[in-house]
Amino acid sequence: QVQLVESGGDLVQPGGSLRLSCAASGIIFTVYAMGWYRQAPGKQRELVAAITRDGRTNYGDSVKGRFTISRDNAKKAVYLQMNSLKPEDTAVYYCNAGSSHGYWGQGTQVTVSS
């Protein structure tokens, strides 16, 4: 079956960095656009970053210039490098394959706090 397994979430101080990873299995990875979404308590899930099959990227306005999404097709993995983290980045981060009607991971918690 399809599995998307996130890792890398942690507690970090404002201004710090984290790198999230998502390992995919059960799908033909190269066919899918991949994305990272996040959901904070009491808020709707929002797109953080996405990357197409051929490596084109787009980002949510609040993370542009701070976050970078990348993919490794050989490893069936997608990554999210997060720099200059802010308290408002605190959320559960979800890996996605195939956009909103596709597949989802279980989420990894990122907490930005001093």
pLDDT of residue 21: 98
Residue 22 phi, psi dihedral angles, 5° rounding = -135, 120
Identity of the residue numbered 43: K
In sequence order, what are the beta bridge partners of 19?
81
**Secondary structure class of 34 (helix, strand, coil):** strand
- Give the separation between CA 97 and CA 78, rounded to whole angstroms: 10
Per-residue model confidence as pLDDT tens digits over 4-48: 999 999 999 999 999 999 999 988 898 999 999 999 999 999 999
pLDDT on residue 100? 78
For Cα atoms 60, 95, 54, give the angle at the middle one, nearest 5 degrees: 70
